[in-house]
Chains A and B, each alone.
Chain A
Amino acid sequence: MSEAASNIEWITASAMIVDETGLHARPAVKLTKLAKTFEASVEIRSQAQDRWVNAKSPNAVMKLKAAYNTPLLIRASGPDAAAAAEALADLVERNFDA
């Protein structure tokens, strides 16, 4: 995100996307809503791309087009970073409570 990103301490996590359609609108909405409940900066990226995107932006998450059966990488930084990373990974693993 920012140029100072390299200096930030990130807590990371990852989870497999099990929905056959990949990370689509409904899961994207759930993921961003959850991310927004944390103070920490939360970013995600798909394995296919190097770019991290803001997990609190539904538009950015949607455009990620994370595919079925690939891991979703999560990183968080800030006061509740550990809880944020864990909660997001959990949600993905629960297949967004579909």
Chain B
Amino acid sequence: MPETLNERILTGVPVSGGSVLGVCHRLADKRFTRVKGNPGEEAVALRNAISRAGKELEELSAGLDRLAAEILEFQQVLLEDDDLLEPVFSRIDSGESADGAWAAVFAGEIAEYQAADDEYMAARAADLGDLRDRVLRALSAPQSAGDTPPDGAIVVAGDLTPSAFLELDWTRLSGAALGAGSATSHVSILARARGVTMVVGLGELDETPSGATLALDGRTGTMIVAPSSETRARFQERIAQEAGLKAQEAEIARKPAITRAGRKIRVLVNVDDPSILDTLDPDICDGIGLTRTEFLFSEGPPDEETQLQAYETIVRWANGRPVTIRTLDAGGDKPVPGVTLDGEQNPFLGVRGLRLSLLDRSLFRVQLRAIARAARLGPVKLMVPMVTAPFELEEAREELDLAIAELSKEGLAHARPECGIMIETPAAALTAADWDADFYSIGSNDLIQYVTACARDNPNLAKLADPCNPAVLELIGRTVAAGKARGVEVSLCGDMASSPELVPLLLSLGLECFSVAPAQVGPVKLAISSTEGDMANGE
């Protein structure tokens, strides 16, 4: 068959899921081709695009807090800046395309802002870049309503933001293939939590058009464009096998996790948005080892009642099992409009996690109050992220004391949560024994990033950002030992815990508590039950 000749194999980074077959659906990204008209048509096209961009900005800022809206307002007024637009239209008059003229003028302006050698002006250059792209998108995407992928499609895009990922209904899609990204980027975490088959870091995807048949393998990270009938048959066979394995995993998920040597291991789940609990049976886990509260902040800081409702939903779902709630872990690659600082040169080493909470105490207080109030319904553990020195935990505890004193005074029912830390930095891992923490939870994604000096969102460093780097394993082992010496719990809530192939290694380091993506409970329990896991290295 001639189609064999057309088969193309692309290799990326595996994120989650198994084998799927489906039709390619390309999501609009920044790069587009459009057909150029005459100068009159081009000028009209640009005017329409500018007006559409203005409307989009207006709609966007309606849902935002004041600070975020003001940032957008600067972009809005630029669309009405005659001095800025005049050179664009004169380029169009002399025969340039609308997108070409727009991009060229903005390139010059952006360069001027960047050359200002002023952090504030450089940050405004990013605003200009944002505006440039918005108008370019408006120029080349006349109908965005037709962008809904058909059932069973494999979504293909250059990159996908967490919000764009969450807007899609993954229960009726087969998978996602992205040109950019890494296994630890946030969109990958979301995909893994939901068991969505995803491959990232595939590179250039220009020659993968909508409508093409795709075979995607979330275990090996390969994508086959226009697969031959042989390849398709191979995938269909694998899909059937995986369905059998899935049934086995679903069965073992309901049982306690015990190694072959009889060691009992606790398996908890990570929660990002409480809606994920709707389809999850609490009986498959020993509690919630990590609640990522960032989901509450996607549109700016939520008030106490909004937070309380979300936390109560989670605690009620857990039905007496422990629930660990992590305080806001914004910053780094998770900016929150109106909360995180703009213009940091190196946000991963900047004001993120608890550092941000301690900088904005009133914001922190609201969250601590909501957590303490939810704790009246069940065992809640409060966890602070991104710490390097014990005094940070002390300051967080002092804030918790103040929040609890307020609640007592106001007569609001509450309970004091245990207070533990995330081990994400080499400093915290090396000094774990010195902290007066009620528990430790190893955030392996950030720990790997900081130990190997590899940004977690950089696909070029995927090989170096190795969870099995001996320095990473040494720090995990030390943390486990420190917890045992102090008699407090040590869990691991990063992606390492969700990887069945790493289970034997983590058991050998003495780890007895895994907090995993909900979709990984079965696979991880299966791996635990098939590992010897004796106490040789554990005690």
Contact = CB atoms under 8 A, between A and B. Distances in A.
B121 A33 contact: no
A60 interface: yes
Contacts of B84: 57, 59
Given A56-B81, A59-B78, 19 more contacts: A24-B120, A25-B124, A26-B70, A26-B73, A29-B73, A29-B74, A29-B77, A32-B81, A54-B83, A56-B82, A57-B82, A57-B83, A58-B78, A58-B81, A59-B81, A62-B74, A62-B124, A65-B118, A65-B121
Nearest to B109: A59
A24 B70 CA distance: 12
26 contacts: A21-B120, A24-B120, A25-B74, A25-B124, A26-B74, A29-B70, A29-B73, A29-B77, A32-B77, A54-B83, A56-B81, A57-B82, A57-B83, A58-B74, A58-B77, A58-B78, A59-B78, A59-B81, A59-B83, A59-B84, A60-B81, A60-B83, A62-B74, A62-B124, A63-B116, A65-B121
Which range holds the interface residue count of chain B? 10 to 19
Interface string A11-26: 0000000000100111
Interface string B103-119: 00000010011001010
Given A24-B120, A56-B82, A57-B83, A63 B73 contact: no
Interface string A52-80: 00101111101101000000000000000
Contact of A25 (B70, B81, B82, B83): B70
A28 interface: yes
Contacts of B73: 26, 29
Contact of A28 (B71, B74, B109): B74
A23 to B, nearest CB: 11
Interface of A: 21, 24-26, 28-29, 32-33, 54, 56-60, 62-63, 65
B118 A63 contact: no
Give the dominant DSSP class at B's interface: helix
B500 to A, nearest CB: 50
A62 B123 CA distance: 12
Contacts of A58: 74, 77-78, 81
Nearest to A25: B74
Contacts of B120: 21, 24
Q: 9 shortest A-B CB distances, which residue pairs? A: A57-B83, A25-B74, A58-B77, A59-B84, A57-B81, A59-B81, A29-B77, A58-B81, A26-B70
B82 A63 contact: no
Interface in B72-101: 73-74, 77-78, 81-84
A26 B424 CA distance: 37
A65 B77 contact: no
Interface string B50-74: 0000000000000000000011011
Contacts of A21: 120
A60 B113 CA distance: 11
Contacts of A24: 120
Contacts of A59: 78, 81, 83-84, 109
Contacts of A32: 77, 81
**Of A26, A33, A57, most B-chain CB atoms within 10 Å:** A57
Contacts of B81: 32, 56-60
A42 to B, nearest CB: 13
Contacts of A65: 116, 118, 121
Contacts of B112: 63
B135 to A, nearest CB: 14
A67 B116 CA distance: 13
Nearest to B71: A25
Contacts of A54: 83
Contacts of B121: 62, 65
Contact of A33 (B77, B82, B127): B77
A63 B83 contact: no
B7 to A, nearest CB: 50
Interface string B124-159: 100100000000000000000000000000000000
Contacts of B124: 25, 62
Contacts of B71: 25
